[in-house]
Structure 1
Amino acid sequence: MQRPTANIEWKDGIPYHKDFDDIYFNANDGLAETEYVFIEANRLKERLRNATNDQDTLRVCETGFGSGLNFIACYALWRSLPEPKKRLEFSSIEGFPLSISDLKLASKIWPELGFEYKELLNQYPSPITGFHYLEFESGRVSLKLFFEELNNALDKYQFFSDVWFLDGFAPSKNEEMWNSKLFDHMALYSNHQTTVSTFTAAGFVRRNLIDAGFIVSKISGFKQKREMITASRHLESTTKTQALPDQAWHISENSSPNIKHGHVLVIGAGIAGLTTAITLARKGFKATIIEKQEGPLQGASGQKQLIMYGKFPQQYTPEARLLIQAQLYAQTFFSREQLSSGNRFWHTCGVVHLAWNEKERAKQQNVVDRFELPETFMYQADANKLKGLSGLDIQDSGLVFPQAGWLDTEAFSKHVLEHDNIELINKREYTHQDWESDALLNSMNADATIICNAVSYQDLDINYPLPIKPLRGQTTQLSSKSFATPKTVLCGEGYLCPTLHGELHIGASYDLNNSEPFESREDDHANIEKLVTWLKGWSDQATLNEQVSGRHAGIRTTSNDYTPIVGKLPRTSAMNKQYSFLTKNAKQETIQGRYYDHTYLNLAYGSKGLTYSPLSARLLVDTISSSSIGLPHEQAKQLSPARFLIKSLKKGHFYSTN
């Protein structure tokens, strides 16, 4: 859903929020106040220095992003410091984000911060509810924006932090940003070295911080302000668990992984393995990809073009919210990776879903009416508009996703494997013995294993069975010389991609009855027959059959609920016992679950690997590194491998290992 932007009025060059009757900053002293209240009070200059390893990170969490001044000041400080220095991870919760035009106006007030503001403006997201990830300095500085009202964000997400900036509007103007829920959350997700600062000296803020286990001090406020509050975590304070969700089974009871080596094994070199490896590398980890074939992209991900494809349900369901979040993240992920590479692999040409029959037109209208998304993400276009976008004589209306596109898989693979932190080991099969004994993990001095080879998961004989099924799919290649070629990806009952190396790719067939990746001329005919049905008037079936120049068949896997499987590997017997009460009372609260410390799964994407794999990789890497988790509890549960065990118990059956 689209969030309302801040109701701003500019008074004498200062943004004033009309709803909260307060200014964002003082134009003359705003930067100096930020440096005094937040940067100096939390000793950020000292704490960012002297990193002990490449994963060493200072995590800052802020309530109220506003004009972004606090983040920009921290970013400028980070850039000014000599090496070695820690990474900076900055998370900020904002219920009413500034519009891009207001942010541009705010940025002009401090020309000395022009570089940092330009970097922010280049990535500043559309006001869509949820998580937005921005990355700077090759991943060494990151900004996680949560466009949610504060109380909703605290219910939905986990904010791990070493530093808290409490910077909402004054308590007298916006009481909801200063309630006990915030301080309970701080108690749960802060460590023994966490510090806090805020401009206010209100008594109830001080008392809530004390109750949350912080040692509170009052110091002189900025300039004419008499006092402000700083705080540090009490070493012997008790963690408050009331900030956990009622159903916490998707969270590991051991939420602090022991990272000794900064090295993770990635099993499988398909699209899931590659996106996981580059996400790890950007976080400072060494990633070793173990691939049993002769090279990367040997399975279903091996087709030459992958498209960002996802059909939205007609209702704004949890599945729809997850898909929106995944596509938003994937679009920015591939665009960001492309900027860092000399190889062209990501093509932001737009993806058009044609309303090629009456049923599809009705579905698309429901999506437009119910989802309330900005046009930067999705908009409806008539046939005439689509003719201009696609370059073809389109006869139907459709939905346009302007920031989506397609991936040149071979070029992307080359980009990933060129990273200094990534190693590929070919022709090495990961076995049950490797997993059960941790032999490979220990011999390679690695901290964790992420299993991304869904097709062979069952062969590993891991004692957590997954309801996944293989399905064979085939794409067809056409010589492009005889056809008008599209400028965008076109989707209907299948898809047609823009040309690559003189070929057009169409697809894809789905065969649930075969699990062998054989190539079939019959599937070419089927792909072509569907294409001429939904892409009316482009060509005829006979001509298309004559221009077939190749094909690619592969085995995809999907789960029984058609959602990827991403997260820590559950301990089957331990969790059956831990949650046995669910067999009698399915609604009873659950505490954190029992999972293997070092094994993670990233599987079962079906045809949506390009859309889901970047966000899934982000979830796993943030979990491993104890960073703020960018997925709401609702979506983490949708992806969690433990969902199958929980569903089984709620139906009255222990989850079977047979």
Structure 2
Amino acid sequence: MKTDHAKVHFNEQGTPVADDFDDVYFSNDSGIDETMHVFMAANRLPARWLTHQHSHFVIAETGFGTGLNCLVAMQAFAEFRKNNPNHPLKRLYIISTEKFPLQKEDLQAALAHFKAVAKPADALLAQYPCALSGCHRLQLNSFDTTLDIWMGDIHASLPQWHAPLHGLVDAWFLDGFAPSKNPDMWTDALFEQMARLSKKETTFATFTAAGIVKRGLQDAGFDIQKVKGFGRKREMLAGHYAGCKQQDASRFPRDWPYARFEAAPLTTDSHVAVVGGGLAGAASALALVSRGIRVTLITRAGILADGASGNPQGGFYPQLHATPSPASQIQAHSFLYARRAYQQLAAHYAYPHQWCGVLQMDFTDEVAARHQKLTDNQYWPAALIQKIDARQASEIAGIPLTCGGIFTAEGGWLSPPDLVEAMIKQAKDSTLLTVLTDHAVSQIESADAVTLHIEHLEAPLSFDHVVLATGADSVSSLLSDVLPLRPVRGQVEAMPADGTTPGKLQTVLCHKGYLTPQTDGRQALGSTYVKGDMNTEVRANETQQNIETHKKALNSQSWVEDIQTDGVARAAIRLGLPDHQVVCGSLPATLEQQPAWRELAKGKRLSTMPRPPAHRIHVLTGLGSRGLTTAPLMADVLASQLCHHPLPLPEALLQAISPQRFIIRNAIRNQNDN
């Protein structure tokens, strides 16, 4: 749901001041010098990066504010990478929380004074997200940095951070308005979560030396030192976590069957197979090679994107509900992440697309009422949806419309097969990706490694891990034994745009079906939904069904009779699950393998259950008709899991997409695995 923006004014020195807290965002004397002294130096950065032997380093911050601390850190990290190109440390993760995010205009004004960080500031402003609660992952690749901005109350956010048993965070920037101004943040609950998320010897630094902070950190297991403060502040606190991580595992119980960091993390020596040449496979391969992992992508077809990812045009927009359900939250954040990812990709690898917006029409009174409720509840920011009337709809669409609807201005259409090709080209340019077409995997064996038996190859291929991104092919694979897969046939017409009114369409129209603007003289008109049908031959009756669906929904439009097709169409199979969510994670354990989980039916808590076994087989599938929206973020979740990097979704949403969820639900209900 939406979060409230910060209310600020700028004082005589040009420093932003929070009206609600009557406190400055940074020192009037020098914000950058304050960051360097309080957070960088006290955490011994960048000196610690030189001795860090892992591929990534995680800074967690307890108040994003203007982002100045993050900009200083990411610029210093970029300099470190420039001076140490062969160092094993390749990526900086910064995880920051913010209850009241600044409006972009205020952020731009605040950062304009800091010319020394102008380049990282521009990179931040180019991707600065809308005010929506949850995690916004920004890939700031020119600074080798991933920035996660968690919007919302810190006491709600930190418990949702999924962490390995040994901890997640390497250094804390304990920021935020002063304890006297903002006592709700500086609580024992905060310090306890810091302990849960810290590794052994994780450092922290904070500008304050207040007794409540000192005592709270000590009680949570941190060793404290008072050091010289910045400017006119006499003292500040710094130190490290000295608690026992083995004891922390029992101090902080989790829903263990949903644990994601069970296998050893991938390294640059790892070799991963991605099976599937569609959007899920391409996104998975790209997410892995971007982390320095060697990947071989394997597809049974002779070309990429031969399945549901092969339609020439696809509408791109989030499917939201009137209340912020897990499904809606996943859609919203997936859409925003994908939009940033596709924009970055298009800057270097061209593919057909158009950010023309998507109009979901009020084509019946019932739908109009639902759309009105969707906007009246004000859960979603205008960057996602806006309510518009018939006049506005006609102006946006470029053709006459007699009804309004809800409009997603950041949406549009993309060519899925060309998008897949662009992703694969970017991944290949890393020199870490090999693509094998015409290679059908017939058998998978998993032990100390994963062995793939492939038709027409005499010797099997061996990998450290495998990701099954097999779409509709999953129905005839080992996934069908552990997941309730639901194939759905869909036929889309490639309607000629021959100068009639529909051919002048300038946005994507959605109702019971959808109609896109033209490209190369054709418009996509779709789509049918035939459950359980795996046949992909084009059918004349489904062409007629598509036409009738549009004419019925648009019967009040004067140009509806201009909708005609000439027989050019394409049918493909989408794959879904009963709850309409993707599956993203390790291959699920069964109740046969984990009989203790049957105790869940007796009311036992998930936190008392044994953790699932480590697995080398993983899955990303079930994207249904929303693959353009969900694929990039889900692929990033999976790659982050495999590398033990911070995850860009809260625990509740990770559980909603976990492949393990069906087995756990069945155990609670005392049912069989499927």
Q: Does TM, normalized by the shorter one, top 0.5?
A: yes
Displacement of 1:237? 5.0
The residue that corresponds to 1:460 in the other structure is 477
The residue that corresponds to 2:425 in the other structure is 418
Displacement of 1:589? 4.3
**Any conservation in 2 of the 1:47–1:58 contact (CA below 8 Å)?**
no
**Change in CA separation of 1:434 and 1:510 when aligned onto 2, cut-off 3 Å:** same
**Change in CA separation of 1:244 and 1:362 when aligned onto 2, cut-off 3 Å:** farther
Match for 1:578: what amino acid? A
Q: 2:528 aligns with which of 484, 509, 512?
A: 509
Q: Could you tell me how far apart the structure 2 residues matched to 1:239 and 1:451 are? A: 36
1:352 alignment partner, SS class: strand
Structure 1: any 5+ residue segments left out of the alignment?
none
2:57 alignment partner, SS class: strand
Establish whether residue 172 from structure 1 lines up as the match of residue 177 from structure 2. Answer: no
The residue that corresponds to 2:589 in the other structure is 571
Match for 1:112: what amino acid? A
Displacement of 1:570? 2.1
**Change in CA separation of 1:389 and 1:462 when aligned onto 2, cut-off 3 Å:** closer
The residue that corresponds to 1:304 in the other structure is 312
Task: Calculate the aligned-residue CA RMSD, in Å.
Answer: 2.5
Q: Which moved more, 1:179-188 or 1:1-10?
A: 179-188
Q: How does 1:215-294 map to 2 (within 5 A)?
A: 215-234=223-242, 237-241=245-249, 244=252, 247-252=255-260, 254=262, 257-259=265-267, 261-294=269-302
The residue that corresponds to 1:594 in the other structure is 612
Match for 2:57: what amino acid? L
1:225-257: CA deviations, max 9, x gaps?
Answer: 222222223385544247756644312462753
Displacement of 1:165? 0.6
The residue that corresponds to 1:438 in the other structure is 450
Displacement of 1:451? 0.9
1:66 alignment partner, SS class: coil
1:322 alignment partner, SS class: helix
Establish whether residue 321 from structure 1 lines up as the match of residue 333 from structure 2. Answer: no
1:599-646: CA deviations, max 9, x gaps?
Answer: 221111211111111221121122122222221122111111111111
**Any conservation in 2 of the 1:267–1:452 contact (CA below 8 Å)?**
yes
Establish whether residue 5 from structure 1 lines up as the match of residue 9 from structure 2. Answer: no
**Any conservation in 1 of the 2:169–2:197 contact (CA below 8 Å)?**
yes
**Change in CA separation of 1:272 and 1:164 when aligned onto 2, cut-off 3 Å:** same
The residue that corresponds to 2:128 in the other structure is 124
**Any conservation in 1 of the 2:199–2:245 contact (CA below 8 Å)?**
no
Match for 1:27: what amino acid? N
Q: Which moved more, 1:489-498 or 1:186-195?
A: 186-195
**Change in CA separation of 1:284 and 1:433 when aligned onto 2, cut-off 3 Å:** closer
Match for 1:296: what amino acid? L
Establish whether residue 495 from structure 1 lines up as the match of residue 514 from structure 2. Answer: yes
Q: How does 1:249-648 map to 2 (within 5 A)?
A: 249-252=257-260, 254=262, 257-259=265-267, 261-341=269-349, 343-419=350-426, 420=430, 421-435=432-446, 438-440=450-452, 446-461=463-478, 464-483=481-500, 484-536=503-555, 537=557, 539-541=559-561, 544-545=563-564, 547-548=565-566, 550-573=568-591, 576-585=594-603, 589-591=607-609, 593-648=611-666
Match for 2:385: what amino acid? M
TM-score (norm 1): 0.93
1:166-189: CA deviations, max 9, x gaps?
Answer: 011122222232222222222222
**Any conservation in 1 of the 2:322–2:379 contact (CA below 8 Å)?**
no
2:441 alignment partner, SS class: coil
Q: Could you tell me how far apart the structure 1 residues matched to 2:11 and 2:548 are? A: 62
Displacement of 1:263? 3.5
Match for 1:522: what amino acid? N
The residue that corresponds to 2:456 in the other structure is none
1:115 alignment partner, SS class: helix
Q: Could you tell me how far apart the structure 1 residues matched to 2:201 and 2:238 are? A: 13
Match for 2:2: what amino acid? Q
Q: Could you tell me how far apart the structure 2 residues matched to 1:443 and 1:22 are? A: 64
Q: How does 1:145-224 map to 2 (within 5 A)?
A: 145-158=149-162, 160-224=168-232
Q: Could you tell me how far apart the structure 1 residues matched to 2:345 and 2:52 are? A: 25
**Any conservation in 2 of the 1:380–1:400 contact (CA below 8 Å)?**
yes
Match for 1:218: what amino acid? K
Q: Could you tell me how far apart the structure 2 residues matched to 1:315 and 1:210 are? A: 41
Match for 1:357: what amino acid? T
Q: Could you tell me how far apart the structure 2 residues matched to 1:426 and 1:50 are? A: 42
**Change in CA separation of 1:513 and 1:150 when aligned onto 2, cut-off 3 Å:** closer
Displacement of 1:70? 0.2
Match for 1:617: what amino acid? A
**Any conservation in 2 of the 1:355–1:396 contact (CA below 8 Å)?**
yes
Match for 1:516: what amino acid? N
| Count of residue correspondences | 651
Displacement of 1:193? 4.4
**Any conservation in 2 of the 1:326–1:615 contact (CA below 8 Å)?**
yes
**Change in CA separation of 1:637 and 1:137 when aligned onto 2, cut-off 3 Å:** closer
2:616 alignment partner, SS class: strand
The residue that corresponds to 1:77 in the other structure is 76
Q: Could you tell me how far apart the structure 1 residues matched to 2:65 and 2:253 are? A: 28
The residue that corresponds to 1:62 in the other structure is 61
1:375-405: CA deviations, max 9, x gaps?
Answer: 2221011111111111111111110001012
Match for 1:360: what amino acid? V
**Any conservation in 1 of the 2:23–2:181 contact (CA below 8 Å)?**
yes
Displacement of 1:433? 3.1
**Change in CA separation of 1:390 and 1:319 when aligned onto 2, cut-off 3 Å:** same
1:172 alignment partner, SS class: coil
Q: Which moved more, 1:230-239 or 1:422-431?
A: 230-239
1:612 alignment partner, SS class: helix
Match for 1:428: what amino acid? H
1:231 alignment partner, SS class: strand
TM-score (norm 2): 0.91
**Change in CA separation of 1:469 and 1:183 when aligned onto 2, cut-off 3 Å:** same
